[in-house]
Structure 1
Amino acid sequence: MPVRGALRHRRGIMIPMPTSLPSRPVIGILHPGAMGAAIGSALKARAGAVIWADAGRSHATAKRAELADLVAVPDVAELAARSDVIVSICPPHAARAVAEQVAAGLRGRADRPIYLEANAVAPGTVHAVAEVLGDRAVVCDGAVIGPPAWKHGTTVLWLAGPGARAVADLFEGSPFGVRTLDELGSASGLKICYALQSKALPTLWLAMAEAADRFGVTEVLHDELARTGVEHTVALAAVRERAASKGWRWAGEMDEAADALAAVDVPDGFSRAAAELYRHAADRP
């Protein structure tokens, strides 16, 4: 069943406006990492099928998809051809490439699926994705705040722009709390602001530790912080542990945050420094 609706202008882009989805839509997940698998599982109750593209994915991804009871299809082209809703949930640096793959897969399709851009990207990237997809899909802006949701009360999915209400309905009753905003890009803008405290701010510990080591004052700094009631060792160990496993991904998110801040004339140096610190932490043996 096609998603039908008028077109409206937004920043020079003709944006399709959806009105409805099938009662049991086919939903495609690109890709079922930890968050993607949780989203796919959450959508199963409302979907006719939740599918994912098997080509080129790792054994770990396939295992997550299996545990979430998602249905494999051969590749992105097949997923794009079959899905009424496509959820892009991948590392931030890959968001545009995924949109390009989907756009190619939608070529020649008569109806327009909803494309949920749920990555931790700048509002400008969301609009770039909308340009890539053009009139082949209805682009909805999404931002996940919280961990992969397997139980209620931990995570909120913010939605904005065209298709937000239709997508929100699909998550009704799921572990993801859903809230909506109006403008395309506003959900991603919210995520950027939130990430400044959740991901950028903790990198101050990494910068402080690296500087103290190079100045040769690590132990003295530790003692001085302890004297003033700051538990430096615990805080540093916590951020190092998180950065070691996720720094490669968070670096991309901080790059997107920096681009977003620069676009609205807010100093972006702190976010760019955070990205570099996460790269260093991820590369640390």
Structure 2
Amino acid sequence: MLLATATPVQLHPVEAWDLLHILSHGNDGVLGGWTHTSPWFRPSHCLAIATGDAAVPTRDVRDGWQYVRDPLPSRFEDPAFDRIRRSLDASATRWQFNPESLEKLSLAIRRVQLQNRLLPHYGDNFNPLLRCIVRRTRAYLEATINPATGAYLLPKVTVKLFGEEDQGALVLGGYLREAYQEAEAFSLLLQQRIRGAGVFKTLLLRRMGSSMEAGRRTVSRLLGEEPDTLMTRMTMMPTRKRLLKLADRHRAAAISRTSPMRK
């Protein structure tokens, strides 16, 4: 299976682990075998090692072996894996080994290849995110020749942007301008009640830039109401009173969502 995405991580690194978990179905070489006993199947621990907040144990080779044996990387990933796999007489399609398999390795391989060569930097060099995620940037694709075709991997597309300067920007008018003004006013009022509410301003303005209907439905979802019901009630209030009402409702909704976590 091959997953392709332009944004493997948008809000939290666990999104990248989720993609690996999808890839791991039917492929023991991603996170580990079907028993799901590998430490890499614990997302928080896997990410902590990948980001350097935690490390693979090195003092006791048996503890470090738990991270190497399931899955045991291919022999092509490092000469040490080639020696370990040869010692275990392991086929190329076998990824999971039991803890007792460590005893099949000679003392020299355990000390030189495993404890001294692999374990000290195993989390940095062989964590599942590095082994299974291929990063291909546009700059790389546009500058790299495909040996099979002799052409660039990705033809370069040059785009000339308009409206980047003030003199080239479009002037808002009518309902769209009023909607932008109310969204900005709503965001300012919301910031007085909730920390970090600036993200809603960006969200609302982008959605309204897509379409007025998209902006209206975004506000409805934030408040947990049906768009038609919200529109009927909003038209009955003056603008400032309406914005204050929305801000108060959003604050109450945010508190109710987080109250179980605080307990």
Category of TM-score, reference length = shorter chain: under 0.3
| TM-score (norm. length: structure 1) | 0.22
Bigger Rg, which one: 2
Q: Could you say which structure has the higher helix fraction?
A: 2
* TM-score, structure 2 normalization: 0.23
- The structure that is strand-richer by fraction is 1
Tell me: higher relative CO, structure 1 or 2? Use CA pairs within 8 A at least 6 residues apart.
1
